[in-house]
Structure formats: structure tokens, C-alpha cells
């Protein structure tokens, strides 16, 4: 029998997970699911997170050190950041257009608004606290946060990825500046580490179908009885989803068409396992090892480019998150009866772009940063209570877009640098 491709196995795992969750809900297997199914999902995500820091560190050092000189590094770095910023601004703008056109917030009845606000106000509290800490910081705090004072403490927390990236780039730059004979062994060491970690990714991915089954089964059981809220927030969700689909089906194909020769269908096939993992884990950071592996081995992006562009993208480039923040902010404003003028909409473009850059690549981070967008346009941050019920599912979807955006930019940078290898049909399909 022909071996089933990985993405099919993952799809089957996802579908069975949802079916299991629905059945478990009906039959009241909540405790059983929490005790025996969910932990497998947690273990799977932990495995992915486990290798995130070593992978980012080793691959970035290898990537930077293999750039022959500093000017190549600054060229690729500048291009990467330019593409990331441009794609984020496009995403926010699409979100704003859609939400102003559909106006999902104007459909709420006053009663429903109060009911939702009350029901979720306590949960919103924790997110608001987390974000108000961020708000009180000075304008340069984000730069301060990038520079670690201790490498080990930076590396001990996955949410400090930017600090790890900073140190790895510094390390790589120092290596370029030294004569080759001084660094040849260190280079060989990191090359080896990099290959070993990519092999670990392969091993972990063998468990992916079971991992996504457990993750989705557990999630559906968690959602349990809140189906009516899903319906009440349907129009808002549909607006976000349409925006995300425009990114996936129109913006990225267009960008690939303009800058590369890669066919979108091939691109899609190559990165689909990463997209499915993004959906199941809601975390670009947890998905990063797989995104890198798919880009390098199935799309032909050189390691030099992928190991620089993708870790950076996972932390700072979140097109899906910024689009969602724009829609959510205007939706909440509409629901509370505010009229947003052009200045307020431009503030959303700016703050949603910055907030998505600042959001950690973990589940729910985009919602924490949404509080900042809301405050910037003078709306009570309690408003996030309104969208709480549907946030997890939208988080899953926006993470798919975040990861797809990173892979698109990596492909574009590779193509424009002559670093995109022609892949065989077999590599594409596997
Ligand atoms: N979960 C998203 C990610 O990891 C971030 C967010 O929008 O919450 O990419």
C-alpha cells in the first residue's frame, strides 16, 4: 500500500479529534478526556517547544556565520524587515476595510451586549492586567527588552525568543569578523547541532497525527456548551475569517507570483503540515521547527535564508494577528456605539502593527496586545470580554496566516537572493 503523506495523516488526526470531542461532550466524558487524552496534546506541544530555543540559536548562528560578510547580512536583514512590515500593514488595512464594510458590531442588541460583557468581564481582567503592564513602559522599553543581561535566563524562557535571536546574531557577526581558522570548529559544531535538531523534528512529526488528535479533542471538550455564543459572534468571526482567507488566497499568491517562480499550489503543498500544526497548537513558536524544515527541505529555501528569516518572522511577523486586532478593535467600538474617525482608524493601523510585532508567538497573545490597540483609540479595554468566546478558534486560524506569511517572505527573500533551490516532485509531495 502506498504510504499516506504526512499532511493526510494530520488531517485525519484533526478530524478524528473533533469527532471524538463532540462525542465526548455528548456522553459526558469530560474527566476522562482531561485525564487521558489532553495530556498527550500537552506532551506533543512541549516536545516542539523543547527544541525551539536550541533550534533558533543553532540555526541563526549557522545562518549568520555562513553569510560571507556583514553587508550581505544587512541587505537580507533590511529586506526581511521591509517585507514583514509591508505585509503586516496590508493585513491591517484589509481588516479595517472589511470590518467597516460588514459592520458586525452594529448587529448586537443592547441586551446581548450587557450579557456578554458581564459573563466575561472577570476573565478579561487577567488579560487587561497583563497588557497594562506593557502599556506603562517607556517608549524605548521594547529595545531594552531585546537585549538580555544574562544568556541563560533568556534561553530558559520561550517567550524571550527575541533575546535569544539577538545574542545568536551577535555571536554570528563576531564569527564573520574573525579569521576562518579560528571559527572552523565552532561552525562545524553548530552545523552538527542544527542537523541533529532537524532530525528530532522529523521524529516528533511522526507523532503529529496523534498529537493533533489529542489537542483538538481536548479543545472541543473545553468549548463544551458555549455554542450559542459562537452563533452570536458569528458575523464578527466571519469577518475575521474572510480577511484571513484574503491573505492566504490572494495576497500571498500575488506576492509569490511577483517575486518568485514558485507555483502557489506547490507552496501550499509543501508547507501544509506547518499550517496544520499552527492550527492545532495556536502557536507560531511551537510550529517554527516544522516551518523551517518544510521551507528548507520541501520548498528549497536555503538554510542560510530560512534560519535567519523564519525565527525572526515567528516572533515579529504576525499578519493574521494584526488583521484580527484591527477587526476586533473596530467591532468592539461598533458594539459600544463609538464612531471611529479617520485618525482613529490610522491609529489602529499603527498600534495593531506594533502590537502584532510585540505579541509573543503563543496562544492568546494577540488578545493581550489587543488591549493596547483599544486603549490607543480610547475604548474601554473591558470590551475584549465581548470576543472572548470565539477567540481560541480565531487564534487557531490567525496563527495559520502568521506562519504562512513567514514562509512566504522566506521564499521571496530566497528567490531574490538566488538561494531558492529547485525541488523535486518527490520532495514536494512527501
Ligand atoms: N497565537 C498567535 C501565534 O502564535 C499569536 C496570537 O495572535 O495570539 O502566532
CATH number of the CATH domain containing 173 = 1.10.3860
| pLDDT computed for residue 156 by the predictor | 86
Banded model confidence at residue 387, pLDDT cuts 50, 70, 90: confident
Q: 125: which 3 cell numbers? A: 481582567
Ligand 1 pocket (Cβ < 6 Å) reads 282-284, 318, 321, 359, 361-366, 395, 398-399, 402
pLDDT tens, position by position, 348-359: 998 888 888 877
Least confident of 32-41, 250-259, 284-293, 420-429: 420-429
Cα(110) to ligand 1 centroid in Å equals 31
- 143 alpha carbon – ligand 1 mean position (Å): 21
Label residue 35 left, alpha or beta by phi (over 0 means left) and psi (-120 to 50 means alpha).
alpha
Tell me whether residue 380 is in a domain.
Answer: yes
Q: Is the pLDDT reported for residue 153 higher than 70?
A: yes
Give the domain extent around 381. 6-429
Write out pLDDT tens, residues 37-58: 999 988 988 887 788 788 878 8
Query: Could you identify the atom of ligand 1 that is nearest to the CA of residue 356?
Result: 7
Q: What's the chain's average pLDDT?
A: 85
Highest mean pLDDT (candidates 150-164, 194-208, 378-392, 399-413): 399-413
Tell whether 215 is covered by a domain. yes
Rounded to two decimals, the pTM is 0.81
pLDDT value of position 1:
44
According to DSSP, residue 249 is labeled: I
Residue 1 lies in a domain: no
pLDDT of amino acid 36:
95
Distance (angstroms) between ligand 1 centre and the Cα of 399 equals: 5
| Apex 18 CA angle, 3 and 225, nearest 5 | 175
What gap in Å lies between CA 376 and CA 348, rounded to an integer? 8
For residue 260, tell me if it sits in a domain. Answer: yes
| Structural domain includes residue 197 | yes
Q: How far is the CA of 318 from the centre of ligand 1 (A)?
A: 7
Mutate which of 316, 322, 359 for ligand 1? The one with the most ligand atoms within 8 Å of its CB, which is 359
Which secondary-structure segment (H or E) carries 233? Answer: none
Number of domains in the chain: 1
Distance 149 CA to ligand 1 centre (A): 26
Amino acid at each position: 500500500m502506498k504510504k499516506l503523506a504526512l499532511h493526510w495523516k494530520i488531517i485525519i488526526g484533526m478530524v478524528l479529534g473533533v469527532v471524538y470531542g463532540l462525542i465526548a461532550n455528548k456522553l459526558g466524558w469530560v474527566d476522562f478526556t482531561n485525564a487521558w487524552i489532553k495530556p498527550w496534546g500537552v506532551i506533543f506541544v512541549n516536545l516542539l517547544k523543547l527544541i525551539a530555543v536550541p533550534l533558533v540559536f543553532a540555526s541563526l548562528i549557522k545562518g549568520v556565520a555562513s553569510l560571507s560578510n556583514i553587508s550581505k547580512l544587512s541587505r537580507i536583514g533590511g529586506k526581511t524587515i521591509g517585507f514583514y512590515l509591508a505585509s503586516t500593514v496590508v493585513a491591517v488595512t484589509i481588516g479595517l476595510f472589511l470590518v467597516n464594510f460588514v459592520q458586525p458590531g452594529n448587529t448586537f442588541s443592547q441586551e446581548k451586549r450587557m450579557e456578554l460583557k458581564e459573563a466575561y468581564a472577570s476573565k478579561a481582567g487577567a488579560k487587561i492586567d497583563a497588557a497594562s503592564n506593557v502599556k506603562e513602559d517607556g517608549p524605548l522599553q521594547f529595545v531594552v527588552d531585546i537585549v538580555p543581561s544574562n544568556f541563560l535566563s533568556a534561553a530558559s524562557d520561550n517567550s524571550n525568543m527575541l533575546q535569544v535571536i539577538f545574542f545568536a546574531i551577535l555571536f554570528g557577526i563576531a564569527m564573520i569578523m574573525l579569521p576562518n581558522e579560528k571559527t572552523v570548529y565552532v561552525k562545524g559544531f553548530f552545523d552538527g547541532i542544527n542537523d541533529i535538531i532537524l532530525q528530532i523534528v522529523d521524529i516528533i512529526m511522526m507523532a503529529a497525527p496523534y498529537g493533533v488528535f489529542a489537542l483538538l479533542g481536548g479543545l472541543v471538550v473545553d468549548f463544551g456548551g458555549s455554542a450559542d455564543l459562537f452563533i452570536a459572534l458569528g458575523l464578527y468571526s466571519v469577518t475575521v475569517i474572510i480577511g484571513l482567507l484574503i491573505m492566504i488566497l490572494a495576497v500571498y499568491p500575488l506576492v509569490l507570483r511577483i517575486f518568485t517562480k514558485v507555483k502557489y499550489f506547490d507552496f501550499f503543498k509543501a508547507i501544509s503540515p506547518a499550517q496544520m500544526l499552527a492550527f492545532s497548537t495556536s502557536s507560531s513558536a511551537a510550529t517554527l521547527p516544522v516551518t523551517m524544515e518544510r521551507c528548507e527541505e520541501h520548498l528549497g529555501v536555503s538554510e542560510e535564508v530560512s534560519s535567519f528569516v523564519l525565527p525572526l518572522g515567528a516572533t515579529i511577523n504576525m499578519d493574521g494577528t494584526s488583521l484580527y486586532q484591527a477587526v476586533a478593535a473596530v467591532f468592539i467600538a461598533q458594539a459600544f456605539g463609538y464612531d471611529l474617525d479617520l485618525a482613529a482608524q490610522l491609529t489602529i493601523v499603527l498600534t495593531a502593527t506594533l502590537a502584532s510585532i510585540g505579541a509573543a508567538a503563543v496562544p492568546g497573545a494577540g488578545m493581550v496586545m489587543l488591549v493596547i490597540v483599544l486603549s490607543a483609540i480610547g475604548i474601554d479595554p473591558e470590551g475584549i470580554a465581548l470576543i472572548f468566546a470565539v477567540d481560541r478558534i480565531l487564534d487557531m486560524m490567525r496563527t495559520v496566516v502568521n506562519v504562512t506569511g513567514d514562509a512566504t517572505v522566506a521564499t521571496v527573500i530566497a528567490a531574490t537572493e538566488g538561494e531558492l533551490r529547485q525541488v523535486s516532485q518527490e520532495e514536494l509531495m512527501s
